[in-house]
Amino acid sequence: MHGILLLTRTEINRLRRNRRYLIFTTGLPVVLYLLWSKAGKSAYGVDFSAYYMVAMATFGAFAGALNGNSIRISEERKVGWIRQLRLTPLPASGYVIAKILTAMATTLVSIVIVFVIGRFYGGVHLALWQWLVIAVIIWLGSTIFAALAVAVGYRYPPDQAQPITLFIYLTFTILGGVWFPLTGTLGNIGKATPTYEAIKISTDVIGNLSVPAYLVFGLVIWLGVFAALATLSVRSMAETV
């Protein structure tokens, strides 16, 4: 466990020096919230500024977990970094666990910053328990995309991982209502995405103070599916890294 935590700390320090990563996962959600949080009256049954705060926190957290990790894992596999780690006492699963822990640590920062902006700029007023529950939902939801990042990064080289990651991310964010709430056919299709489920659970906590069990169950299913894909990718590529 010590080796995993040491690798996690190293990964976090590397990301802290990656300005492009920080801008995309923290700066962009804040800018978009400042621009669009007052563009509507309501969405998902809550004030629009509250909905957009949740959406942008989800955007930053999920982007950090998926976009940066998948391409970085693919590049590290290509240059032989993962092979070098296998020569150390680090467990076979240690690299994957460290990546997920790193994603959880870094995405928490983007969630907190967007929440602060939502409170003092967007005028979102919630009880302490609501802030905490929403943060935990989005935070744990980001592990779904961290697992998907492992699945993509392990299986595909960098030149393929980047467009695949972008396509997956745009599909989930658009259909999931991250950029703007959808209605009609696309809205109904989007209800099956983990991005929609994370946002809807959070807005239900704000507006209804209760959450349908099927939404939570849906997030768990997505996590199981992507974790299984990650496991298959790691095992299938074990002899090539």
pTM of the predicted structure, to 2 decimals: 0.87
DSSP H helices, 179-212, are 184-190, 194-207
E strands, 46-158, in order: 46-47
What span, in angstroms and rounded, lies between the C-alpha atoms of 48 and 123? 11
What span, in angstroms and rounded, lies between the C-alpha atoms of 134 and 63? 17
Task: List, for residues 85-136, the tens digit of each pLDDT value.
Answer: 666 666 666 667 777 777 777 788 889 999 999 999 999 999 999 999 999 9
**DSSP label at residue 41:** S
Three-state DSSP class for residue 150: helix
What span, in angstroms and rounded, lies between the C-alpha atoms of 201 and 196? 8
Task: List, for residues 50-98, the tens digit of each pLDDT value.
Answer: 999 999 999 988 888 887 788 788 887 777 766 776 666 666 666 677 7
User: For the chain, which residues make up each domain, given as ranges?
Assistant: 2-236
